[in-house]
Structure 1
Amino acid sequence: MKEIGLKNFKDYFIKIKEELYERENISKILKITVSRFFRDREVFDRIETSLIPILIENYKRETINIWSIGCASGEEPYSIALIWRNSVQKMWPTAKLSILATDIDENLINRAIEAKYQWSSLKEIPEEILKKYFKKENGFYLLDPSVREGITFRRHNIIRDELYKDMDIILCRNLAFTYFSKTCQIEILKKIGASLNSKGYLIIGKDETLPLTYPTLFCSAFPKEKIYKKNSSSYHL
């Protein structure tokens, strides 16, 4: 607070509310990165066994576009890429996967691109996948470069920056709907809705809830996994 000329927490709280830059700055300082492969495994099982088959078979998607918001050091998008290569690709060999993975922290993005992990991030990976797609080297586990194909990592601020469009699945877990104000959550929810294709899916964290206005934008598709489907007919940004 001394660095920016403020005397007390009340003044700083006001500054955070009013200035996007300061919110971004404090989010970096306070950010607790709890990221691991296949975190909440049932979510990835549902993506594999329900969402992707629905998008390919029912909605005839040739390319599945997925956006991982707050991707940290890449465990979430890489988990999706792993299930795609390990099973989905065998069932639908002509289908394609395109993953956009974004985070506000450039250091985390660089770590994600490096794709080098400690064992603590890998504890929930099925043994078959671990042996097939990771190589241990100097105490770290290196992800097979083939898994990285089709994934684009970018620095992005979901509050401030422009939207990405034409998404079939958006994961925004343990971030906006945990740490941001309700007003901010509503705006982000509208942005996510605008980013999704018709009948696209939003996935949030298992302990998160959407703002009370969400039924006008989304309906619950798989409640246990906190997966919501876009209400195309009633959606307005």
Structure 2
Amino acid sequence: MSFFSSQSLSLRKSAPLTDKEFDDLSTYIYELAGIEIPKQRKYLLENRLRSRLGELKLNSFSDYYKYLKFGPNKQKEVEIFCEKMTTNETSFFRDAKQLGVFRMAVLAPMLQKLKQSGKKQIHIWSAGCSSGEEPYTLSIMLHEMLKMSIMGWRIRITANDISSAMIAKAKKGLYSEHSLRNTSKDIINRYFTKEPGGYLVHPKIKKNIVFEKINLNDTAALKKIPKSQIVFCRNVIIYFDPPMKKKVINSFYDNLVPQGYLVLGHSESLHSITNIFQPMRKPGGIMYQKMD
């Protein structure tokens, strides 16, 4: 999940966003989702929300702020607001080099150890899953590694995002060629069906995944996620301020079993946030392990 596309939206003539309105709206989304909108991004927030003012026939951002907090469809509007503030640019097998490191240094040894112990079950949490490409990629990876023996495993991938629209798209599992731009033809042929609207994920890949809407700022909701051996949270925490980053990372730490792994985006780091994880540095990526 990533935030703030530079693509301009069609603008409606209305009063410009004032500093007070920006403060009100940015504070509200921070309290709601932990997303920090720096002052220099004011124009992006204005561009993103102006089209919504037109749809609601509102004349100012103050009117929208009141509608957002006190309107008759508050819950629905909060979802729309979060969707307006997020850009979900992703793809299958995104950051292939990092995934290769993860496969060889983390996933393969873990599967071997679980097999030897007789506990053939694994839970992976994809936090901030956007439109589903990441958890489906992880499911495909498990199928590729375990082959037919996967039938003897209990596998669950919990996939969460703050956007209801993204969760609905992920559940549908229908993707364009652009989403599959980093995917080999062999993988596409094995795990997708060509449909008039795109490529549909095979049911055997879907059945291991549970998609649910979640807000990473909701500590109580995060505590309900089943204990995980691996947590993926790529390209999300970079948009949080330091207190929110620490809060979310602590939730991941609490969720992970001992010796479990946290995987962040290739440009993200826990440096200066926390030292509760042990970094595993490999050419092409860093993984973080819970040592206790």
Please give the TM-score of this superposition, normalised by the length of structure 2. Answer: 0.70
Q: Which residue of 2 aligns with 1:33?
A: 88
- Cα 1:6–1:65 change in 2 (3 A) is same
CA contact (8 A) 1:15 1:22 kept: no
Give 2:248's aligned amino acid: I
Greater mean alpha carbon deviation, residues 86-95 or residues 102-111? 86-95
Note the C-alpha offset of 1:211.
4.7
CA contact (8 A) 2:123 2:155 kept: yes
Greater mean alpha carbon deviation, residues 204-213 or residues 75-84? 204-213
1:9 matched to 2:22? The reply is yes
Note the C-alpha offset of 1:10.
3.5
- Report sequence identity in percent: 26
Matches within 5 A, 1:179-218: 179-215=239-275, 217-218=276-277
Note the C-alpha offset of 1:6.
8.5
Q: Which residue of 1 aligns with 2:142?
A: 84
Note the C-alpha offset of 1:84.
1.3
Mark the structure with the bigger radius of gyration: 2
Note the C-alpha offset of 1:32.
1.1
Q: How many residues align?
A: 227
Give 1:101's aligned amino acid: A
Matches within 5 A, 1:99-110: 99-110=157-168
CA contact (8 A) 1:171 1:202 kept: yes
* Gap regions ≥5 residues in structure 2: 1-14, 36-77
C-alpha distance after superposition, 1:82-112 (max 9, x if no partner): 1111232356663332100011111111110
How far, CA to CA, are the matches of 2:274 and 2:217 in structure 1?
18
C-alpha distance after superposition, 1:191-231 (max 9, x if no partner): 1000000000000011112252422x101124432311113
- Cα 1:162–1:139 change in 2 (3 A) is closer
CA contact (8 A) 1:182 1:211 kept: no
- Cα 1:213–1:91 change in 2 (3 A) is same
How far, CA to CA, are the matches of 1:145 and 1:92 in structure 2?
14
Runs (4+) off by over 6 Å: none
Q: Which residue of 2 aligns with 1:116?
A: 174
Give 2:232's aligned amino acid: L
How far, CA to CA, are the matches of 2:34 and 2:127 in structure 1?
20
